[in-house]
Amino acid sequence: MPRANRKIEHALTMGEFKLIWNLHREQQWSTTDEWRGLAIHVRLADLTRRELHLEYPAVKPQKIGYIRTDRVVVNISPAKVQEHIQEAMTAGWDPTSRGQPFVFEVSELPS
């Protein structure tokens, strides 16, 4: 899976947790899932524990010509991402726990 071309990373504090989130994947075409939306990974700043993977819905790209499609670049609002992290915490993500990454599918875009 290719890494994102844009390097977006932010640090924030939510309650007692110091978190860092970064853009992990831009929207991309997948032969099995068709379009996959962008993904943001969230982790604790000071130690490695259970990560949060925010999975966003895909935006249907516009067709240009017969074959080529226009690349979709989604604007990312840090305030929206913070809201989505809070929703994931409400849904059960505990940053200090151990185990597999917690995958949270967000219903709206981070813009």
- pLDDT digit string (tens) for the chain, length 111 residues: 555 577 889 999 998 999 999 999 888 877 776 788 899 999 999 888 899 999 999 887 776 666 666 667 788 899 999 999 999 999 999 999 999 999 999 988 887
Q: Which domain holds residue 18?
A: 9-105
Positive or negative, the CA dihedral 75, 59, 41, 4 is negative
- CA–CA dist 99, 101 (Å, integer): 7
The answer to whether the beta carbons of residues 45 and 11 sit under 8 Å apart is yes
- CA–CA dist 23, 21 (Å, integer): 7
**Among 21, 26, 7, 35, which Cα is nearest to 79's?**
21
Count of structural domains, the chain: 1
Residue 110 lies in a domain: no
Residue 3 lies in a domain: no
**Among 49, 5, 42, which Cα is nearest to 21's?**
42
